[in-house]
């Protein structure tokens, strides 16, 4: 397992057990520097997968009240099929819940992939795919 320490105070890090790749979680929000929670600032929560010094994938959750709107994940073709997208979405949802959001929504086009990660269809909702970020 590799560990990555951040050179910036606004950068928090987490790493998955992989010798050649790590994931940095960045919020870019006031919360990272002791300011108000992300849900209050409206700043997006960004999650970036990095191999060495190169970005290989990213996702973000944009807060809108207690709802978060998922952007991504986007993963370089060479890194697809290696669970990078799964890890990005999972980390983004964890960050969203930690920021006080109760629900993450995504476009219907991602239903097949996101359905495996706890998202469900909500036809009365826009975007139509949601994941509750409750205690269960």
pTM, to two decimals? 0.73
Domains of the chain, CATH where assigned: 11-132 (3.40.630.30)
d(CA 113, CA 85) in angstroms, rounded, equals: 9
Please give the average per-residue pLDDT across 76-91, as a whole number.
92
Query: What confidence category does residue 50 fall into, taking pLDDT thresholds of 50, 70 and 90?
Result: confident
Cβ atoms of residues 59 and 35 within 8 Å: no
pLDDT above 80 (res 7)? no
């Amino acid at each position: 397992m590799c560990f990555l320490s951040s050179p910036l105070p606004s950068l928090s890090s987490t790493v998955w057990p992989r010798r050649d790749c790590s994931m940095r979680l960045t919020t870019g929000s006031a919360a990272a520097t002791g300011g108000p929670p992300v849900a209050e600032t409206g700043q997006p929560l960004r999650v970036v997968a990095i191999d060495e010094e190169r970005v290989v994938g990213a996702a973000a959750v944009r807060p809108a009240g207690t709802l978060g709107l998922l952007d991504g994940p986007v993963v370089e073709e060479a890194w697809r099929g290696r669970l990078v997208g799964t890890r990005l979405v999972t980390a983004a949802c964890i960050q969203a819940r930690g920021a006080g959001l109760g629900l993450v929504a995504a476009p219907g086009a991602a239903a097949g992939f996101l359905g495996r990660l706890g998202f469900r269809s909500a036809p009365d909702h826009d975007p139509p795919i949601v994941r509750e970020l409750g205690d269960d």
